[in-house]
């Protein structure tokens, strides 16, 4: 399985001629973490996030991973639930939950159907209700019907609402007509099956900048998506400049760990020049800081 553009400048940030923010990795990214960690203690200590998209290669897992880091920056304990193939699952901790897609396909043979298969994930939700923390549930592409069946069978949205737990469904879309049409359909069906979940859409600039005119078919799709009744938030998610995320991926580090890297270490481990390493870290730091702004729309921890 697998469930971006903005501008925050930290101390010492520089802006290139092309308009990209180039903060030193030692500056804006760490400043963002420090700011979030000072969130007031009066905020809720329990949160639930359900990240989904009908198609694959929408960037859901990147959004889920970034959301996890945002919550951890605020001092919250996060349990990641990933519903994906056990052959590609990665980045999970000891307390995280993997529900293999291979088992989802056998739900009809399990006591309780999809609820029985998802029991480890629901146990994580119960633990969050009792002890606090965050559950981020990252659904693989093509599992929409199972997801809706789970929501309908468990009344999960009502359970969370009764506990006064902020709970969001986050639908990821790219700048492709079919992706936006699918995202709108997911929002509409979620509103029917789980009306007490707040609904958000992520406009992930993975395949384009969502800048088509409203007179075009692509623009009309975007307008229809953003006009969804009950849409609680729109997150405009940037891309990392210069293919820097992909270049840093072989390090095998989570987002927060990458903030702690220094150029010399990256240069040594990747076999590149210190100048290129510094650029990669600067691009990543700018993306992290900007994406924090967007995450605050559904996880407001810094105020």
CATH code for the domain in which residue 196 is found:
3.40.50.300
pLDDT at residue 133 tops 90: yes
Q: For residue range 199-220, what is the model confidence (pLDDT) as tens digits?
A: 999 999 988 899 999 999 999 9
Domains: count for the chain: 1
Please check whether residue 285 lies inside any domain of the structure.
Answer: yes
d(CA 208, CA 215): 17
231-237 β-sheet, strand order = 97-100, 78-84, 133-139, 46-52, 167-173, 198-204, 231-237
Mean pLDDT of 173-187: 96
pTM to 2 decimals?
A: 0.84
d(CA 203, CA 171): 9
Please check whether residue 62 lies inside any domain of the structure.
Answer: yes
Which is higher by pLDDT, 73 or 42? 73
Task: Name the residue range of residue 113's domain.
Answer: 28-295
pLDDT at residue 104 tops 80: yes
Q: What is the pLDDT of residue 132?
A: 97
Please check whether residue 1 lies inside any domain of the structure.
Answer: no
Please check whether residue 132 lies inside any domain of the structure.
Answer: yes
In angstroms, the Cα distances linking 169 to 46, 96, 148, 197, 270 are 15, 19, 11, 6, 37
Please check whether residue 12 lies inside any domain of the structure.
Answer: no
Please check whether residue 11 lies inside any domain of the structure.
Answer: no
């Amino acid at each position: 399985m697998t469930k971006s553009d903005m501008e925050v400048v930290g101390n010492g940030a520089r802006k290139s001629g092309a308009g990209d923010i180039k903060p030193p990795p030692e500056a804006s990214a760490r400043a963002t973490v420090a700011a979030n960690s000072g969130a007031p203690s009066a905020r809720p200590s329990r949160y639930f996030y359900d990240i989904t998209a009908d198609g694959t290669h929408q960037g859901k897992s990147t959004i889920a991973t970034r959301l996890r880091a945002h919550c951890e920056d605020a001092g919250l304990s996060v349990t990641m639930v990933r519903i994906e193939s056990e052959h590609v699952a990665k980045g999970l901790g000891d307390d995280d939950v993997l529900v293999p897609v291979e088992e989802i396909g056998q739900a009809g043979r399990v006591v309780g159907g999809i609820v029985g298969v998802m029991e480890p994930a629901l146990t994580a939700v119960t633990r969050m209700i009792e002890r606090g923390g965050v559950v981020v549930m990252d659904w693989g592409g093509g599992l929409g019907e199972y997801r809706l069946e789970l929501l309908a069978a468990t009344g999960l949205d009502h359970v969370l609402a009764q506990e006064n737990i902020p709970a969001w469904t986050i639908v990821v879309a790219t700048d492709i007509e079919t992706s936006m049409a699918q995202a709108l359909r997911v929002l509409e069906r979620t509103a029917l099956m789980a009306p007490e979940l707040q609904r958000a859409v992520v406009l992930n600039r993975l395949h384009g900048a969502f800048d088509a005119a409203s007179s075009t078919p692509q623009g009309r799709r975007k307008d229809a998506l953003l006009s969804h009744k009950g849409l609680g938030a729109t997150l405009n998610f940037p891309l990392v400049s210069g293919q820097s995320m992909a270049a840093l991926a072989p390090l095998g580090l989570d987002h927060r760990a990458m903030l702690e890297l220094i150029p010399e270490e990256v240069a040594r481990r990747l076999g590149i020049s210190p100048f290129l390493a510094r650029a990669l870290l600067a691009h990543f730091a700018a993306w992290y800081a900007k994406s924090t702004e967007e995450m605050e729309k559904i996880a407001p921890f810094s105020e």
